[in-house]
Structure 1
Amino acid sequence: MDLAYMANLPQEEFIERRQRTLAKMQPNSALLVFSEIEKRRNNDCDFPFRQDSYFWYLTGFNEPNAALLLVKTEQTEKAILFLRPRDPLLETWNGRRLGVEYAPPILNIDEAYAIDDFSAHFPKITRNLTALYYVPAFHLWGDKLLSESAVNFTDFLDWRPILSEMRLIKSPNEIRLMQQAGQITALAHIKAMQETRANRFEYEIESEILYEFNRHGARFASYNSIVAGGNNACILHYTENDQALKDGDLVLIDAGCEFAMYAGDITRTFPVNGKFSQPQREIYELVLKAQKRAIELLISGNSIKQANDEVIRIKVQGLVDLGILQGDVEALIEQKAYRQFYMHGLGHWLGLDVHDAGEYGEERSRILEVGMVLTVEPGLYISEDANVPEQYRGIGVRIEDNLLITEDGNKILTAAAPKEIEAIENLMQKNRQFLKM
């Protein structure tokens, strides 16, 4: 049996996750999680398959049309998988399947059945159980299967509070994979700096990034890459990437690889021609100062809100100093005058999803704990039609890194990507000199 598609984590990790989940379930209950299914791209072609993160977290199984059922009674605890059976003809056309026979020994689960027989087996397995942990409307194909089964539970409970909290604290194995995702992502941003020059299209630089991901073992991006030249950087989720880069503009690149299902997420902003203008430098240094202060504050025992409050204060003071905002700093903060230039949060959880699972608390006041991984990404976006001094119009800057909360503070997983002005300019100028040789 070819296992090349299996998880890049030891099976013991998935077993331990299922055991922890069972321990948190109430007695005489079941928990049901469906996999993702293939999505049509056009006519009879599908998008590349990407497994549901919750399902993967508990199984490490990368096939569509599957379901995991955890059963907890006073007598026993079981992990049961429903999946596609082996089919030589379909496998010839569409790729290998693990199949019912191989699933228990390979995935270390207790029982396996064909997904087509779900409606027959599910009522029998859960006949005497009182509660079902399930999330309706999460996978509509799963809702349909469940509706076709005779179920008679007293309680229906949401499994997301259990699984999201588990996902929020990364294991040593997960951290190892996320370090690799951060390193590959950093290498791609370095490549982008080296290859950027005036009159190249944004999508050309995107292709350099994706190639670098692939070259280092990350087949896919963890989200749609943003390559935004000039005023396009003031569109937060700009993904058209179809404009020519202009001499004298900045380019903002927000791109991350997915390595072994785990996301990297870096943003760097740099000059197309390799040299920051004075206005660009002033805005960039303000954002960088804010990010460095945030990194100092994002440690165990503090919160994202604490860091973001300090970031806002630094930015408002800086914008007043530059003449972009006018008035008293405290009053401007109270009025949220900065929102026209900084309209998003400071960061988000990172893991199997680029915007990973887990509660933030009111206004992101949740206390940070060892093992959490998050982004830190302050930005300033001054559109070309903003009512500010002309030299600052059309400048968008964001600087983003991935941060692991540790016992000693934090660790930047993406530090290999340059962000100091001198380091960026030196890298870009050195590459231009090499190209002229």
Structure 2
Amino acid sequence: MDINPFKSRRAKLIEKMGSGIAIIPTAMEKYRNSDASYPYRADSYFHYLTAFPEPEAVLVLIAGRGKNGPQQILFCRDKDMEREIWDGFRHGPEAAKDVFGFDAAFSIKTLDEQLPQLIADQPALHFSLGHDSAWDARITAALNAVRAQTRTGKRPPAAIHDVYIALDEMRLIKDAHEIALMKQAAAISCTAHRRAMQFAAPGKYEYEIEAELLHEFRRHGSQYPAYSSIVAAGANACVLHYVGNNHRVGAGDLILIDAGCELDGYASDITRTFPANGRFSPAQRDIYELVLMAQTAAIAATKPGARFIDPHEAALKVLTQGLLDLKLLSGTLGEALEKESYKRFYMHRTSHWLGLDVHDVGEYKESEKWRTLVPGMVLTMEPGCYIRPAADVPEAFWNIGIRIEDDALVTAEGCEIITTAAPKTIADIEALMSKE
């Protein structure tokens, strides 16, 4: 593993800090039941800066010049051959320092003793209060320990800054290392969607189709799904976050799959909708083509200098006009947009940030204005249309739920869709699913 991108990010954060000390812990292990834990995943902020995969670890960064900075320090578990028999390999401080490029590394057992010494006389503490009550208490104890030494000349930091704010801005623009991983994750997920389309058929259960996705994720090196996979057939596709995945697929159903893998911490996020029997009905075809046109408009609006909201507004105009043309809405385009009558069939936004988290960090607005897109940002393109049975809706449209989602990397020229290998035109989908 190339550790240089992680060292560079730590150095960049130190530069942004200017002075003071940052404390960034990793995630705690969590138990599923009794003594069985969930698969461990490092905290995203911690992973972004360290790549260190073990629990019970804390990153300490010291900015400024002089004997106390700048420094990159790791606290981690001790090397323990007895525990390794049960739980697997541990680096230990000495190896972790060399492998992950730190200036120093210490046993996590010494952290509480060292924290007051590290914090004392620093002009600022960079820590995100309020995310973890146990860590809030730990930091408070360290600050109080420093305050107890004021008669000896020790002083606590005069200011506390939320370190996640600076990290959110850094994580919003992906570097070359991140982009390469996200493209690889996208490629794996595209392969999984193709496999699921070819496997799906009336009579299958949704969970059987989900199993095909999970098989392909793991077979190609992904560690986990990036989120709970949605495999929704028929009416279930009109439930935005449906994860039951336990119904039998009907002959005339559309199947909506929203699924993506995670690779080395980075998420992909793809949605495809296709007919269980391999052929779209006329009503399904009409709605599908409309959603695809809306996505095409969103992609065209995604470029440097555009506002984050521009792809959504472009998709919204196309989708709303189409619903008017199909007589599912009434009035004019302007009226439907102003009154938001489209929300009956399309109630979510077209995009969100993507990265270490599937809904990645970073503000969508700056000073009450929509953020401007710049190269290196990655966001989803996912318009949809969800039509539930109603007296004023023609029966041919009932229970049609369609979403088409791709991952877009903003480039200097516009945007690059990194998930094109998953078929999404009607012709390509029907060709892939053909049993001939």
TM-score category, normalised to shorter length? over 0.9
Which residue in 2 is equivalent to 1:255?
259
Kindly tell me: are residues 421 and 386 of structure 1, through their superposed partners in 2, closer, same or farther at Cα, counting changes over 3 Å?
A: farther
Give how far 1:219 is off: 2.4
1:290 paired to 2:294: yes
Map 1:225-374 → 2, pairs under 5 A: 225-361=229-365, 365-374=370-379
8 A Cα contact 1:231 1:384, kept in partner? no
Using structure 1 for the length normalisation, give the TM-score.
0.94
Maintained 8 Å contact 1:82/1:118:
yes
Partner of 1:190: 194
Supply the AA of the counterpart residue of 1:96: F
Give the conservation status (yes or no) of the 8 Å contact 1:252–1:396. yes
Partner of 2:3: 11
2:26–2:43 Cα contact (<8 Å) kept: yes
- Counterparts of 1:385 and 1:128 in 2: how far apart (Å)? 67
User: Which of 50, 53, 62 is the matching residue for 2:41?
Assistant: 50
Report if the CA contact (8 A) 2:10-2:49 is conserved. Answer: yes
Q: Distance in 2 between matches of 1:347 and 1:14?
A: 28
- 8 A contact 1:34–1:139 mirrored in 2: no
| Cα displacement (A) at 1:378 | 0.3
- Partner residue of 1:86 out of 58, 79, 101: 79
Which residues of 2 match residues 40-79 of structure 1 at below 5 A? 40-75=31-66, 76-79=69-72
Partners of 2:396 and 2:124 lie apart in 1 by: 63
Aligned to 2:172: 168
More displaced 10-residue stretch of structure 1: 205-214 or 68-77: 68-77
Equivalents in 1 of 2:393, 2:289: separation in Å? Answer: 18
Partner of residue 152, structure 2: none
Aligned partner of residue 326 in structure 1, secondary structure = coil
Q: Does 1:392 align with 2:384?
A: no
What is the CA deviation profile of residues 20-62 of structure 1, one whole-angstrom value per residue up to 9, with x for unaligned ones?
00001132x1111110111100111001001111000110101
Instruction: Measure the CA separation in 2 of the matches of 1:192 and 1:139.
Output: 39
Number of residues paired by the alignment? 422
Given that residues 18 and 64 in structure 2 are in contact (C-alpha distance below 8 angstroms), is that contact kept between their aligned partners in structure 1?
no
Q: Equivalent residues in 2 for 1:81-160 (5 A)?
A: 81-149=74-142, 150-151=145-146, 152-160=156-164
Structure-2 change in CA distance of 1:132 and 1:386 (3 Å)? farther
Displacement after TM superposition at 1:335 (Å): 0.2
Query: Does the aligned pair in 1 maintain the 2:311–2:351 contact within 8 Å?
Result: no
Question: Secondary structure at 2:409's aligned position in 1?
Answer: strand
The secondary structure found in structure 2 opposite 1:132 is strand
Q: Which residue of 1 aligns with 2:407?
A: 402
CA distance change for structure 1 residues 364 and 344 in 2, over 3 Å: closer, same or farther?
farther
Partner of 1:4: none
Structure 2: state its 5+ residue gaps: 147-155
| Secondary structure of the structure 1 residue equivalent to 2:130 | coil
3-state SS of 1:112 partner: strand
Identical residues among aligned pairs (%): 45
Secondary structure of the residue aligned to 1:237 is: coil
The CA distance in 2 between the partners of 1:386 and 1:354, in whole Å, is 37
Instruction: For residue 141 of structure 1, report the CA deviation from its aligned partner.
Output: 3.8
Maintained 8 Å contact 1:386/1:393: no
Q: CA RMSD in A?
A: 1.4
SS of 1:270's equivalent in the other structure is strand
2:407 is the alignment partner of 1:414: no
Distance 1:226 1:413 in 2: 21
SS at match of 1:304: coil
Contact 1:287 1:397 in 2 (8 A): yes
Tell me the CA shift for residue 161 of structure 1. Answer: 1.8
* Aligned structure 1 segments of 4 or more residues deviating by more than 6 angstroms: none
Q: Which amino acid aligns with 2:92?
A: G
CA deviations 1:141-184 (Å, max 9, x no partner) are 43343244224222111012211111111111111111111111
Cα offset for 1:387? Answer: 3.7
Aligned to 2:149: none
Residue pair 1:287, 1:378 contacting (<8 A) in 2 also? yes
Change (3 A) 1:263 1:364: farther
CA distance in 2, matches of 1:387, 1:215: 47
SS of corresponding position for 1:160: helix
Greater CA deviation, 12-21 or 71-80? 71-80
1:196 and 1:268 map into 2 onto residues whose CA distance is: 13
Q: Aligned AA for 1:137?
A: G
Instruction: State the Cα distance separating 1:364 from its structure 2 match.
Output: 7.8
Write the deviation string for residues 175-234 of structure 1: whole angstroms up to 9, x where unpaired: 111111111100000001000001111010000000011111112110000000011111
Amino acid at match of 1:78: Q
Question: CA, structure 1 residues 266+367, in 2 after alignment: closer, same or farther (shift >3 Å)?
Answer: same
In structure 2, give the amino acid aligned to 1:261: G
Report the Cα distance in structure 2 between the residues aligned to 1:373 and 1:132, rounded to whole angstroms.
Answer: 31
